[in-house]
Copies of this chain bind each other. A is one copy, B any other.
Amino acid sequence: MNDHPLSESDLHRHFGRRGRDLPGRVLLPPGDDMAMLGIGSTDRLLVAADQVVIGRHVRVDEAPAAIGRKAVLRNLSDVAAMAARPIAILATATLSPDRDQRWAEALHAGLHETGLAFDAPLIGGDLATHARPETPDVISVTILARPGGEDGRVVTRHGAAAGDLLAVTGRLGGSLTEDGRGRHLDFPPRIEEAIALNALLRQDLVAMMDVSDGVARDAARLATTDGVGVRLDADRIPRNPGCDWRSAIGDGEDYELLIACRREPPGEIDGVPVTVIGRFESTPGTSGRVLIDADGESIDVAGLGWEHAGDPTDRTG
């Protein structure tokens, strides 16, 4: 049966091809941090869905409220990436039948309270159990949002050109190490910072996404223009304590904003540092690649990013 094993990236390419020719109300098709729909005559709705698989994205023995919280925060980070503002969430959960009532209520509290804290009430969903005991739980969260600014503008991943700056909020690396273990479970989604940057930079804020798989991998996702690649400067990467530049751009699960902009961004926004870490360029051989200038060398870091097939729980200790 398994003559063609599952590959998430192959499947995403396949789904992308099938996601064309959608009705005109689909203003942004699948492929960005969120899709956008035209609702009625003027309103625009952003929507995304993401899941937390126990044993894959969090440890099996993690606290249920922390799992619920992470499931919502990941989606809120997608909202931030579009410079949008959340309005509601829905959640479905499939639990092992040997979970108890208290565990399920704590999971619900994590979803409900995290949503409310960001003005995104939990308004629906479904609960089911697996047919067999000891089958890992799956939590799926859908989030609805609206453009965050007065002008209705949202920021996609597309449009970065040679000469544009690449910047990042906060500090990177170590979210899954022993010391930084809690960070991938509880982080501040950069919603207000993204809306403020969008209001300040306007058309000069060209493209944006959130860093989930590490800058080394995610930066390539902003290099969507033909012939354009990214050059990072190792000395400028803002690092969490104990992280060298490799782990800072490779660890993933940072949930910071990765920004392509046409002019210098402010050095901080609402107290959160904004650091220029590189530049888009179109020189021979750089198209779609991410290079870093480090120790006098130019190193291709495509292999450093977070592998979707990997298991973060392997790396937590």
Chain A residues at the B interface, C-beta cutoff of 8 Å: 1-8, 10-12, 14-15, 18-19, 22-23, 25-26, 29-30, 34-35, 37, 39-40, 42-43, 45, 47-51, 53, 55-57, 87-88, 90-92, 94-95, 97-105, 108-109, 112, 119, 121-132, 135-136, 138, 140, 142, 144, 146, 311, 313
Query: Which of B12, B40, B112, B135 is close to A127, meaning CB atoms less than 8 Å apart?
Result: B12
Q: Which of B8, B26, B109, B126 contacts A51 (CB 8 A)?
A: B126
CA distance A49 to B7 in the complex (A): 26
In the complex formed, the residue of B with least CB distance to A142 is B142
Query: Which residue of B has the minimal Cβ distance to A4?
Result: B101
Contact A6 B49 (CB under 8 A): no
Contact of A25 with B138 in the complex, beta carbons under 8 Å: no
Residues from chain B with a CB closer than 8 A to the CB of A108 are 11, 14-15, 18
Assess the A8–B127 pair: CB atoms within 8 A. Answer: yes
Interface of A is mostly: mixed
Name the residue on B nearest A12 (C-beta): B127
Residues on B with C-beta less than 8 A from A14 are 105, 108
For A22, what are the chain B residues with a Cβ–Cβ distance below 8 Å?
Answer: 121, 123
6 contacts between A and B (CB under 8 A): A5-B100, A11-B105, A12-B127, A26-B123, A35-B123, A49-B91
What separation, in Å, do the CA atoms of A124 and B32 have in the docked complex?
9
Q: Please give, as numbers and ranges, the residues of chain B lying within 8 Å of A99 by CB-CB distance.
A: 2, 6
A88 adjacent to B47 (CB under 8 Å) = yes
Q: Which residues of B contact A7 (CB under 8 A)?
A: 101
Do B131 and A136 touch (CB < 8 A)?
yes
